[in-house]
């Protein structure tokens, strides 16, 4: 399973970065291969100052060794060896009409003293953060998510859509980070789902990413925008930073367990603004976005 | 003590905002008076887009009522009434040659069921965050801090300077937020220091703020700077955001206990950048700063 999933994310990273470079037309991903002193490593690919993508990263990592103390606490286990691998991506487009996107697919194994697997699970998801709301984009993204979920379980879409809304929530602002998508974690063997079934589900979600996101990029990347639109995007990016640094378990976990800082923080937007007590004008497009972030919608 | 300190911070807010407006010459503080539904309120003053100050806030608050559950845990007490007041300020200058500054002076009381004081303490400090390091500025700031400390106790400066270095530390970057200053907390009655002695100390520190900071602003505000200097400032401001959102107890505490979000987050800089894996050139002025942030110096 481990070997199979590692091969999968390596190939997916290639597929995704090639497709994004093609859409961008100018910038290329810079590759950064790194080793983890305690075991394993990763292959980060970062794009900056593109025509379409102002900043983004599509990173894979495979790490293993003794479970760090902080993770023992987190998972409620004692001394153990572990293996974890995954692909994480965040894309911050330049044009405020193109939404930011985040996705992650990961697999985890815990071992006993003899190296036998005592626990294993998948996790991940994908979610969309627009700056200007085009209903059609949110509907397209969610429809793609629903289609891939429905092929595996009739309740997955509803369940993981809801989890996404509640996970990517800026509690201190009382608003969602974006219009959501899917979020799932601790996907373990059950009577209904074998680990192979979960593998099939998670990789199908991974395979749906480009179909879910690229048509939106293509439809919006050449739209005109004003300085005011751009300012709104930069202010909203501030909320993205607030979520990632204050609430996101993955980010905080990485920062507090001596993770690879630059790979973890590649999710932060390139240019960000904070204005004091900024509120969009009543009836504006900006206010329309906030409405939806405060009251998540059923898009399909 | 309560009444005396509230009067003190109100007056100090006036003194500081007037002096800053005078140095800025263009922008004026906008006042925002707010009430806390559970008791008390505050007076925020925010400056934006000035000649000297790109963004800043000088806020006072006086809050009271039942100690929120999360604070009970924090202070290790059960049901209790409390009173807290303080002045908090952060200034983000436009010119990268002028350092950002932060200061805070606060007073806390806890009461038993009959309204008698069961505990009371002062806290606070002031610290400097340069983007380009002028040794003379760090020396001036620390000398002012030392002078005010020495008038109250021969060990205060050394002790509170060290605490400042260890508190304002971006552990995940292994570097200080800035060149420090003073940080003290839980200043309670002892044989050597009465509450009145602490009051005298804390208010003397508050009174030293303008003397510590303004001469630096005046000396650097008209220096020339390049686009590259400005970019460095914006990248370093990213570290400021990282500290405030990931590590600062006050900010996280406020965000998680339904504090007044805009007043808490007024500390965030106006325009910020994150670049992937940015490192200053060897031998550059930018690298010189990093050296000092990684290895805090004794400035006086």
Active-site residues of B, by number, are 102
Instruction: Give the number of other Cβ atoms within 10 Å of residue B225's Cβ.
Output: 17
Average pLDDT over residues B192-202: 97
pLDDT category at A257 given cuts 50, 70, 90 is low
CA distance A298 to chain B (A): 28
- pLDDT of A72: 78
Summarize pLDDT for A9-36 with one digit per residue, the tens: 999 999 999 999 999 999 999 999 999 8
Inspect the interface and report whether the beta carbons of A255 and B246 lie closer than 8 Å. Answer: yes
Q: Is the pLDDT of residue A260 over 90?
A: no
Cα–Cα distances in Å, from A245 out to A254, A263, A264, B102? 11, 14, 11, 20
Averaged pLDDT for residues A93-108: 97
Select the residue of B57, B268, B274 nearest A268 (Cβ to Cβ).
Answer: B274
Q: Is the per-residue pLDDT at B258 higher than 70?
A: no
In the predicted model, what is the mean pLDDT of chain B?
A: 94
Q: What is the pLDDT of residues A221-256, one digit of tens each?
A: 999 999 999 999 999 999 999 999 999 988 887 787
Q: Which residues of B touch A238 (CB under 8 A)?
A: 268
B207 - beta bridge partners? none
Asked if the model's pLDDT at residue A68 lies above 90, the reply is no
CATH 3.40.250.10 describes domain A2-294: no
Of A171-175, A229-233, B2-6, B68-72, the one with minimum mean pLDDT is: B68-72
- The crossing angle, in degrees rounded to 10, of helices B2-24 and B195-220 is 0
Residues in B touching A272 (Cβ below 8 Å): 241, 271-274
Quote the percentage of chain A above a pLDDT of 90: 84
Which residue of A32, A172, A255, A269 is the best one to mutate when testing the B interface, meaning the one whose CB has the most B CBs within 10 A? A172
Residue B96's pLDDT band (boundaries 50, 70, 90)?
very high
Cross-chain Cβ contact A241/B246 below 8 Å: no
Mean pLDDT on A92-112: 96
For residue A168, the distance in angstroms to the closest alpha carbon of chain B comes to 16
- Asked if pLDDT for residue B165 goes beyond 90, the answer is yes
Task: Please give the average per-residue pLDDT across B267-276, as a whole number.
Answer: 96
* Contacts A256 to B, Cβ<8 Å: 171-172
Mean pLDDT of A67-93: 85
pLDDT higher than threshold 70 for residue A258: no
Q: Show residues of chain B in contact with A255, CB under 8 Å.
A: 172, 246
The whole-number pLDDT of residue A186 equals 94
By C-alpha distance, the chain B residue nearest A49 is: B275
Q: Could you tell me which residues of chain A have a Cβ less than 8 Å from any Cβ in chain B?
A: 30, 32, 46, 48, 55, 57, 171-173, 234, 238, 241-242, 245-246, 252, 255-256, 261-262, 265-266, 268-277
pLDDT reading at B144 higher than 80? yes
Which of A239, A257, A276, A279 best probes binding to B when mutated, by most B CB atoms within 10 angstroms? Answer: A276
Q: Which positions of A are annotated as active-site residues?
A: 102
Name the residue in chain A with its Cα closest to that of B261.
A172
- Token pair belonging to B243: 């500290």
Chain A residues with CB under 8 Å of B265 CB are 242, 274
Fold of B2-133+188-286: oxygen-dependent coproporphyrinogen oxidase (3.40.1500)
pLDDT given at position B257? 67
Instruction: Dump pLDDT digits (tens) for B202-233.
Output: 999 999 999 999 999 999 999 999 999 999 99
Q: Residue A31 in contact with residue A43, Cβ under 8 Å? A: yes
């Amino acid at each position: 399973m481990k070997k199979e999933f590692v091969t999968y994310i390596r190939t997916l990273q290639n597929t995704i970065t090639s497709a994004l470079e093609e859409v961008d037309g100018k910038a290329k991903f810079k590759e950064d291969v790194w080793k983890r002193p305690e075991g394993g490593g990763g292959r980060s690919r970062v794009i900056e100052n593109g025509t379409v993508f102002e900043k983004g990263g599509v990173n894979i990592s495979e790490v293993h060794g003794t479970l760090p103390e902080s993770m023992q606490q987190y998972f409620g286990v004692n001394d153990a060896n572990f293996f974890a691998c995954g692909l994480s991506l965040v894309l911050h487009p330049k044009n405020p009409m193109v939404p930011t996107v985040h996705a992650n697919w990961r697999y985890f194994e815990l071992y006993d003293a003899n190296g036998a697997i005592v626990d294993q699970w998948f996790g991940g998801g994908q979610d969309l953060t627009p700056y200007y709301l085009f209903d059609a984009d949110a509907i397209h993204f969610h429809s793609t998510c629903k289609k891939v979920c429905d092929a595996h379980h009739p309740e997955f879409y509803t369940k993981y859509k809801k989890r996404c809304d509640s996970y990517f929530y800026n509690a201190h602002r009382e608003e969602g980070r974006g219009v959501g998508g899917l979020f799932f974690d601790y996907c373990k063997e059950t009577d209904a789902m074998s680990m192979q079934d979960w593998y099939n589900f998670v990789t199908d979600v991974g395979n749906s990413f480009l179909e879910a996101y690229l048509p939106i990029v293509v439809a919006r990347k050449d739209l005109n925008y004003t300085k005011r639109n751009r300012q709104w995007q930069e202010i909203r990016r501030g909320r993205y930073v607030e979520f990632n640094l204050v609430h996101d378990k993955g980010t905080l976990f990485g920062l507090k367990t001596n993770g690879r800082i630059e790979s973890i923080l590649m999710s932060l937007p390139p240019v960000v603004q904070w204005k004091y007590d900024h509120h969009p004008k009543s009836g504006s497009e900006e206010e329309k976005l906030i409405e939806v972030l405060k009251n998540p919608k059923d898009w399909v």
